Amino acid sequence: MAGPLDGKVAVVTGAGRHKGIGRYIALALARDGADVVVTGSGRSPETFPDAEKEIGWRDIESVAEEIRAMGRKCLPLVTDMTKAEDAQRLADETVREMGRVDILVNNAAAGRGSDRVPVIQLEESEWRRVLDLNLTGAFLVTKAVGAKVVAQGEGGRIVNISSILGRQGMITSSAYSASKAGLLLLTQVLALELAPQKINVNAICPGLIGTSRMDDVTAPGPIRDMVMRTTPLGREGYPEEVGDLVSFLCGPGGDYVTGQTINIDGGRVMS
């Protein structure tokens, strides 16, 4: 049965975590017919969450196996998004191995770390780490991969995964919020610049999503209770839901949608 993305090739960055948004985006695109290139940072297995260790998870290699089992092609590539040469290699190898590229999803992002402190306590190195991956990395990959899409002359899609923290500040999130807010304005500029080439560019802002990086927040307790009190739908989101939204934007249903920022947050920003 033909899918809405049959014949398309997608690149999804940051797609190696078993319980991560990137994996579910890649799976949704493959389910709807796309062949997929998945990138990861080359995490050491010693750093994997216990749940991944227990199932013998192998980062982007495991995701590639899942996609191939769906009857689609998949190319896993370890990529340092902060290096221009790596971004160019990603674009070149995608076209060389897959024949074309139609969709880019900028999902890779810095995990919470020692950046989550008040601004006056924030180390410059942490500020740069977060901005380099979340914003500069998206710029470098978009520049390299986007040039391939433009050269094909057949249109395409770019989806940037931002965050509700890019729309609504929260204490101790200065670097992350600044990077994600920057991604929203980059989305708008790209949408204007690439519209003549029929390339639609949109951003998605997830709220609390049940990923491994957020296990400490979604676990029963006072932190989760506080978040749920400010979330009208009263639950966390699922990474599958983000994947479905991305695939919609990349398919025929998203043909007339560009330059938009879409919250998927259970109504939290609205409230």
Joined together, the tokens standing for residue 127 give 């500020």
Q: Report residue 115 as tokens.
A: 């950046």
- Residue 1 pLDDT grade (very low, low, confident, very high; cuts 50, 70, 90): low
Half-sphere CA count of 181, side-chain side, radius 13 A:
12
Question: Distance between CA 37 and CA 94 in Å, rounded?
Answer: 7
Predicted local distance difference test score (pLDDT) of residue 69: 98
- Determine the residue type at 92: D
Give the lowest-confidence range in 178-192, 214-228, 254-268.
214-228
- Using 50, 70 and 90 to split pLDDT, how confident is the model at 268? very high
Residue 270 pLDDT level (bands cut at 50, 70, 90): confident
| pLDDT-based confidence at residue 62 (cuts at 50, 70, 90) | very high
Give the max Cα distance, the chain: 56
**pTM for the complete prediction?**
0.95
The β-bridge relationship of strands 35-40 and 9-12 is parallel
Which domains are seen in the chain, by residue range? 9-264 (3.40.50.720)
Query: Which residues are paired to 36 by β-bridges?
Result: 10, 74
Cα gap 268→271, rounded to integer Å? 5
Q: Is 176 a catalytic residue?
A: yes
pLDDT beyond 90 at 73: yes
Residue recorded with tokens 């924030």? 122
- Model confidence over 234-260: pLDDT tens digits? 999 999 999 999 999 999 999 999 999
Phi and psi at residue 167, to the nearest 5°: -115, -25
Catalytic residue among 24, 176, 238, 256: 176
Average per-residue pLDDT in the chain?
A: 95
d(CA 162, CA 48): 24
